Structures are given as C-alpha cells and as structure tokens.
Amino acid sequence: VVSSPEAMAAVAKTAEAAGWESVWTGEHLVASSPRRPPSPVPPDTHFVDQVASLAFLAAHTRTLRLGTGIVILPQRNPVVLAKE
C-alpha cells in the first residue's frame, strides 16, 4: 500500500519510465478490525482517496493512463462522485 504523496509520485514516475501503460487504484476506505490473518495490510495503514490520488498522479505523469479498479458506491455520495 502506497499512501504518501512522495511514494505515489515515485511509483508512477518509475512505472512511466519503465514503459508501463497504466496505473490503477483500488478503493478501500475502511478495513475490518481485527484483521484476519494473513492480511498483507498492517492495521495502522492509511488509505487514500482514489479520485484525489488519480488527479495527483495525472499532475506528476505525462503518458500513463489512470483508472480505478473498483468504486464502492455505497460508501460514496453519487452526486459528489459524478462531479469528481
């Protein structure tokens, strides 16, 4: 899980330099607690908003295509999501 802006930009720039076509985000705003092993995600992980992340990555890359792997609609306001 990459949640710092610096790390997100570095991963995207590295992918772009390596010739990757696209970068995708997933959406998990919350996680169950307690986590059931073997979860690869540490319990103190910070999740970032996928739409804001994609906008950020668009500003730091030139050729990468950006997309969402999933949007969990019940956790979002549909009007706000449409505007984003």
Per-residue model confidence (pLDDT) at position 16: 97
> Amino acid identity of 21?
E
Q: Are 1 and 41 in contact (CB under 8 A)?
A: yes
User: What are the residue boundaries of the structural domains of the chain, listed by start?
Assistant: 5-83
pLDDT for 47 equals: 76
Confidence of residue 74 (pLDDT cuts 50, 70, 90): confident
CB-CB neighbours of 39 under 10 Å? 12
- Whole-angstrom Cα distance, residue 16 to residue 72? 27
Q: Nearest CA to 1 among 42, 60, 54?
A: 42
Say if pTM beats, i.e. exceeds, 0.75. no
**39-54 confidence digits (pLDDT tens):** 666 767 777 888 889 9
In tens, the pLDDT along 2-51 reads 778 899 999 999 999 999 999 998 776 666 666 666 666 676 777 788 88
Structure tokens at 74: 């019940």
Q: pLDDT at residue 72 above 70?
A: yes
